[in-house]
Structure formats: structure tokens, C-alpha cells
Amino acid sequence: MRLQGKTALITGGAKGIGKGIATRFIEEGADVIIVDMDRVNGEETANELGQGGGSIQFVELDVCNEDRVETFMKALPKLKLDILVNNVGWTGLRTPIDQMDLNDWRRILDINLTSLFLMCKHAVPLLKSSQPSSIVNLASVNAHTMVPALGAYSASKGGVLAITKQLAVELAPEGIRVNSVSPSITFREGTLRRNSASALSDKSLDCYPLGRFSTARDVANAVLFLGSEEAGFITGQDLLIDGGMTSQSVSAMVRDDLRAGWKSGMYKLEAEPEVES
Ligand SMILES: NC(=O)c1ccc[n+]([C@@H]2O[C@H](COP(=O)([O-])OP(=O)(O)OC[C@H]3O[C@@H](n4cnc5c(N)ncnc54)[C@H](O)[C@@H]3O)[C@@H](O)[C@H]2O)c1
């Protein structure tokens, strides 16, 4: 039980990756609080995970609203907080930058970045009083590699990387570590499948050297490591959870001969043409 006696607060824990993190933390003995603005899924998740004997409570909260975040923290004056996971996030609509409405831009930055600032601002006093403690932020592979029409999302997640490093330096003297994870496209357990009718075709799968998309549990395992004292000398870092996607060269992805050779295990070096400089 790697988190026995620890209390963890997970934002956006009603479903998706946040629910996966809550599940994994409970398996490791943590007392978990999930906050989310989705009451229906939040209560359902708390009931489901509590049935297995886990200690979990759900609180309805809009993490973009400073008054409500502050009230929530103050209403829990005796709360011992060891791990904060800032998981809330939203991709937003895919919009090219020259067509993006300012309000949409602001909304995406609010949900992905400002919420994280608000949660940290009001949780840090609690985290300080139970050091060693830690914060894990959800960034994204989109903070590292870009796709068209996701400008606000990518910018917000780039901001998550920067504030993670900033807070790591600022909070280290207080015994608080701060790290982030950057998942590639992630599926909830049970919904992992290929879909040739969409962008998630076999060709997309070729982008992942490990040959599959990630699951919420993959992400949760990385968050568990960074949140726990096993990562006690790691702070200010981002951990890519991408099955090797961002390590692979473009040619390995687009050249059929390389892909076929790699898959069959029969690729021969001499078959590769010289690269022009
Ligand atoms: N799923 C992926 O493919 C993927 C890939 C990379 C990064 N991420 C990041 O991982 C995190 C979780 O992603 P997900 O796919 O599980 O998302 P999701 O949409 O399944 O769940 C997000 C949760 O956050 C809650 N939420 C949204 N705004 C909120 C607010 N203002 N206050 C409180 N709760 C709010 C939603 O109600 C929802 O329950 C996000 O930060 C996302 O950017 C996801």
C-alpha cells in the first residue's frame, strides 16, 4: 500500500482519467476526495469506488471559480492534504487561430490553466502543513507536439509545463514537490478499440511504437509514482506517457518500408536510401 495514510485531492475525478487516478490511489490505500462540477458522475464514481471499501468522498465544485475554491478549502480546516492532482482539462473545439473567438480562447485557458493556479493557491497552505507533500498536474502530449486547430489547448498545456517548473522551484523549500504528466490520446478502460472510420485508425496506431493507445490506468500509474514518496527526489519534471510516440522519427511513421520491416522484424539496414543533406 504505497499511499496508506495519505489524503489525495483529485480535480475532475468524476470520470475519465481522473476516475482512473482515484481508482488507483484507493487501491494503494489513500483517502481520496474527488471534486468535479458533474454531480451525477461524481456521486456515481464515489459510490462505485466506495463499495470496494475505499475511503472516497465527492464534492461538487467548479475549479474555475475562486470564491468557491476558497470556500471549499476553508470548509475543510482540519483536512490533511498530502497529494493534489490537478486533472481538470478540456480540449475545446478544434478551431484555427484566425477563427478563434476570444471567449473560447479564455475559456480553454481558464479550465486548463487558471483552475490549476486557483487550486494550488488555496491548497498550498494545507500541503505545507503535511510535508512531504506533492502536486501532480495533467499536461498533454499536445504541449510537446502540435496538431492543427488546437492552439488554445496546446498553449494552455504548455503553460501547465511552465507553472509546474515554477512551482517546483518555489515550493521546494516547503517540502512540496511538483511534477506533471503528458499523456497521449487516452481511453477509459473498456473502450480501447480501433476505429477505422475515424482518425483513430490502424495508421494512427502506427504512431505508437508500443502498438496501442494509452489507458486511464497507464496515466494513473505515472501519477501514482510522481505523487508518492517513491519519487521523493523528483520535482519540476514532466513525464510523457505516449508509448514512445514523441521519440519516433517522422520517417519511421510515414515510410511503409520502415514500418513493414519493423513490424515483420525483417528490416535490413542496407535497404535504407542515403539521406540527402
Ligand atoms: N483523454 C485524453 O486523450 C487526454 C490526453 C492528454 C491529456 N489529457 C488531459 O487529462 C485530463 C483529463 O482528461 P479526460 O480525458 O479524462 O477528461 P474528461 O473530459 O473525461 O474529464 C474531465 C472532468 O473534468 C470535469 N471538469 C471540467 N471542467 C471543470 C470545472 N471547471 N470544475 C470542475 N470539474 C470540471 C468534467 O466534469 C469531467 O468530469 C485533462 O487535463 C486532459 O487535458 C487527456
Q: What is the DSSP string of the chain?
A: -TTTT-EEEEETTTSHHHHHHHHHHHHTT-EEEEEES-HHHHHHHHHHHHHTT-EEEEEE--TT-HHHHHHHHHT-TT----EEEE--------B-GGG--HHHHHHHHIIIIIHHHHHHHHHHHHHHTT-SEEEEEE--GGGTS--TTBHHHHHHHHHHHHHHHHHHHHHGGGTEEEEEEEE-SEE-TT-----TTSS-SHHHHTT-TTSS-EEHHHHHHHHHHHHSGGGTT--S-EEEESTTGGGS-HHHHH-HHHHHHHHHT---GGGSPPPP-
Given the residues 25, 153, 208, 213, the one annotated as active site? 153
For residue 49, what is the domain's CATH number? 3.40.50.720
Residues 110 and 18 in one domain: yes
- Cis status of the peptide bond prior to 132, with omega within 30 of 0: yes
For 40-105, give the secondary structure using H, E and C: HHHHHHHHHHHHCCCEEEEEECCCCCHHHHHHHHHCCCCCCCCEEEECCCCCCCCECHHHCCHHHH
- Residue 2, in any domain of the structure: no
- Residue 227, in any domain of the structure: yes
pLDDT on residue 272: 52
β-pair partners for 55: 31
Sheet holding 83-86, edge to edge: 55-60, 31-36, 7-11, 83-86, 133-138, 176-183, 238-241
Ligand 1, atom 41, lies closest to the CA of: 89
Residues 45 and 161 in one domain: yes
Report the separation in Å between the CA atom of 20 and the middle of ligand 1, taken as the mean of its atom positions.
11
Q: 115-128 and 151-171 helices cross at what angle (nearest 10)? A: 20
pLDDT on residue 260: 65
Number of C-alpha atoms within 13 angstroms, CB side, residue 129? 10
Ligand 1, atom 38, lies closest to the CA of: 12
Residues 191 and 223 in one domain: yes
Ligand 1 site, CB within 6 A: 12, 14-18, 36-38, 41, 61-64, 87-90, 111, 115, 138, 140, 183, 185-186
- Determine whether 208 is an active site residue: no
Amino acid (one-letter) located at 56: I
Residues 193 and 265 in one domain: no
- Residue 194, in any domain of the structure: yes
- Residue 1, in any domain of the structure: no
pLDDT on residue 239: 98
Residues in the chain: 277
Number of domains comprising the chain: 2
- Residue 215, in any domain of the structure: yes
Report the separation in Å between the CA atom of 75 and the middle of ligand 1, taken as the mean of its atom positions.
25
Residues 230 and 260 in one domain: no
Residues 157 and 276 in one domain: no
Residues 214 and 107 in one domain: yes
Residues 56 and 78 in one domain: yes
- Residue 119, in any domain of the structure: yes
Contact between 44 and 68 under an 8 Å Cβ cutoff? The reply is: no
Residues 257 and 220 in one domain: no
- Residue 130, in any domain of the structure: yes
pLDDT on residue 144: 98
Report the separation in Å between the CA atom of 88 and the middle of ligand 1, taken as the mean of its atom positions.
4
Q: 66-74 and 115-128 helices cross at what angle (nearest 10)? A: 20
Amino acid (one-letter) located at 84: L
- Residue 63, in any domain of the structure: yes
Residues 91 and 104 in one domain: yes
Q: 257: domain range?
A: 246-277
Residues 160 and 254 in one domain: no
Q: Which atom of ligand 1 is nearest to the CA of 15?
A: 39
Q: What is the pLDDT along the chain (277 residues), one digit of tens a residue?
A: 999 999 999 999 999 999 999 999 999 999 999 999 999 999 999 999 999 888 999 999 999 999 999 999 998 767 789 999 999 999 999 999 999 999 999 999 999 999 999 999 999 999 999 989 999 999 999 999 999 999 999 999 999 999 999 999 999 999 999 999 999 999 865 444 444 445 556 678 888 999 889 999 999 999 999 999 999 999 999 999 999 999 998 888 777 777 666 666 655 545 455 556 5
Residues 97 and 120 in one domain: yes
